[in-house]
Structure 1
Amino acid sequence: MKALVLVEHDGHAIKDATLPTVTAAAKLGDVTLLVAGQGVGAIAEAAAKIAGVAEVLVADDAALAHMLAENVAPLVAGLMTDYDAFLVPATTNGKNIAPRVAALLDVTMISEILSVEGPDTFTRPIYAGNAIATVQTKDAKSVLSVRGTAFEKAPAEGGAATIEPVSGAADAGVSEYVGSEIATSARPELTSAKIIVSGGRALQSGENFTALIEPLADKLGAGVGASRAAVDAGYVPNDYQVGQTGKIVAPEVYIAIGISGAIQHLAGMKDSKVIIAINKDEDAPIFQVADVGLVGDLFKIVPELTEKL
């Protein structure tokens, strides 16, 4: 089999989400990467160094400058005559492109796969991760999104893939790039952070969130996350949200502060290596998955913990 993987990038560098997707694709067969964008020569060279990659296709065109899904999907669909499977990271961008590709190919998309059981058989979570479904497709071609926390990252160095330009990109004329408001932070990105400190509704305000969570995160060199309740209450922006409808993370250490542990939140972080929970309610569901639990007032515990680090 031959698998085509869409490289996730920001126009300057390859995002970590690409690496576990390469690992998943390698379980299907030969791996080819597709780098789509404008002025992406350096990204293609970096992609060629990823271990296990046989070939890198480069679609460099003004129509692909911001990877609008309406322009990328037809390009991918045209390339799929030579491939058996198309894989994307289960990111916002990947989830935007993959269903369009599946529709153009008239096949069923299988989302957020956790494992590859065979050339046409995969597992994926259902019921907020409380059950794992084994799915077999009868389609001639597979379109898959890959949950990055379920696969090891492919080594970013050690490969020597060939680089080939491809054509076929065009502006579909149905969408246009208007602008971006990108938050910048010295802290690690949530999906790649080794330590994450998350806060919940119990923090009571955005000011408390900033005063308690961020100093602790800075001491630990950690990323900052939040529950949906904290996001909905306006304490922090949407991109902080961890959970079923937010970001799926699996850091070395996950510290949940003032988070009760609703099933939707647990679905986004329960694969973390070590889970530490701080909550005044000893019956909070978060303690059922926590490796270390501390029952008490977070307004006393967190400042003391930060001071002692």
Structure 2
Amino acid sequence: MELNKHLADQGANEALVELFSAIEDASKIVQSEVSRAGLGADIYGAKGSENIQGEEQQKLDVYADECFIHAFRGSGQVAGLASEEQDNALQFDESLKGEYVVMIDPLDGSSNIDVNVAIGTIFAIYRRVSKSGETLIEADFLQAGRDQVAAGYVNYSVSTQMVLSTGNGTHIYTLDPESGTYQLISENVKIPADGKVYSINEVNLDDFDDNLKRYAQHCKDKRKEDGKRMYTGRYIGSLVADFHRNLLKGGIYVYPATVDSPNGKLRLLYECNPMSFLAENAGGKGSDGVQNILDIKPTELHQRCPFYVGSPVMMDEALPSI
């Protein structure tokens, strides 16, 4: 079943279906360039500039950002957008009657581009709180994750897949290269209650708080009855890739606060919120270590936070007080 038909069957209105058509179109353009591995335009390597977070922008970061901005602007359904690659939120004056705003990381894991590791696009969709046709306001963008209308990501890997939720389960679609359409392959995906993988960058272990240090050691020490290890460590360094594996196989992903990043490194609005929304709709959990990610009221467009997400049993072990 094609993406748009499945969305309609899930109860998505026409405007939301059209918005997803824009995501589909832009993602196919990005996928085409990613799959050519630099054979086309010179969009690989560093651009020589930084985004607002002080991170070096890759050429493909900027290319992907421009693709999605163009698609959303042309859809007529999106009044504004906040992107990791843009200092400030964008307002689309030509579609101010649009009822949605989008938060997006156009190319997650872009530091892996030159080594051909899986990368992705992460997005969150909200219904604007300001009146249709009027100038957007800050509150349109600073909404809690619980208010998301839909969220998802595109995983550019061996195949290109879109994982999304409109609040009625989490679903996976694969891009069919012959028809050029996303086809439903897994409906109502459920993350395993427990898992075998913990995804933590342990090079920062000395900077973790004591509770997380104990949990990391627990993952190393826990054994099955036959003496074999219960868990294994897997950390790709691309949130989309790490999350996708854990969604299907079971596991936990952690990017905590550290000495260098006391507020965490991942962004709440366009990384942690959409991934937590997907996890919760698949039976998993997302937290900043203190509370459910989806309950956090953001105060800044590029706000960072610690991030724990994954299988409920592993989440409960890592954060027993949550």
Larger radius of gyration between Structure 1 and Structure 2? 1
State TM-score, norm by structure 1: 0.37
